Amino acid sequence: MRIALAADHAGFELKEHIKDRLRAAGHVIEDYGVNDTRSADYADFGRPAAQAVGHGKADRAILVDGAGVAMSMVANRIPFVRAVVCSEAYLAEMARAHNDANVLCLGGRMIGTQMANRILDVFLTTEYEGGRHDRRIAKIEG
C-alpha cells in the first residue's frame, strides 16, 4: 500500500515509530515531515499528505499531531479525503467499514505506541463494506 505520512512537532516521535513499522510491513511510505521536534505548523505538513490521498498518489495517509484533531480538520478540507481521529481500534474499524475513511489521524500526546499499533493494524486491514454505505459516502462529495 502507498501511504503518505505527516506530523507536526507533537506527533514527530509517533510518526517515526509508525514509519518504521509500516516500512517493515512492506508498505511504500512518502514522508511529508516534520523531521524533528522543533515547533511546526500542522497544516504545512498535513495538507500535502492529505492531498496525496485526494489526488490518488497515495492509498491512505497517517497524520499525527498532539491530539489528532487539527490534522483531521486540515485533511477533511481536501476533496475525496475522509479523515478520522482515532484513539482506539473500534473507531478505526467502523471508520473504515462504514465510512471508507482513507486518512487516519492520531494524537501523539494521547496514545502510546502499543495503542497506535492496534489502531494502525485495524485501519489498514479493515475493508469498506460498501452497500448501504455507498449512498452516504456519495453525499459527502455532493
Residues annotated as part of the active site: 98
Query: What is the three-class DSSP state of 25?
Result: coil
Q: Are 3 and 29 in contact (CB under 8 A)?
A: yes
Cis before 85? omega within 30: no
Nearest to 141 by CA among 71, 97, 101, 81: 81
Query: What is the C-alpha R_g of the chain?
Result: 14
122 contacts: CB under 8 Å, gap ≥ 6: 89, 92, 93, 96
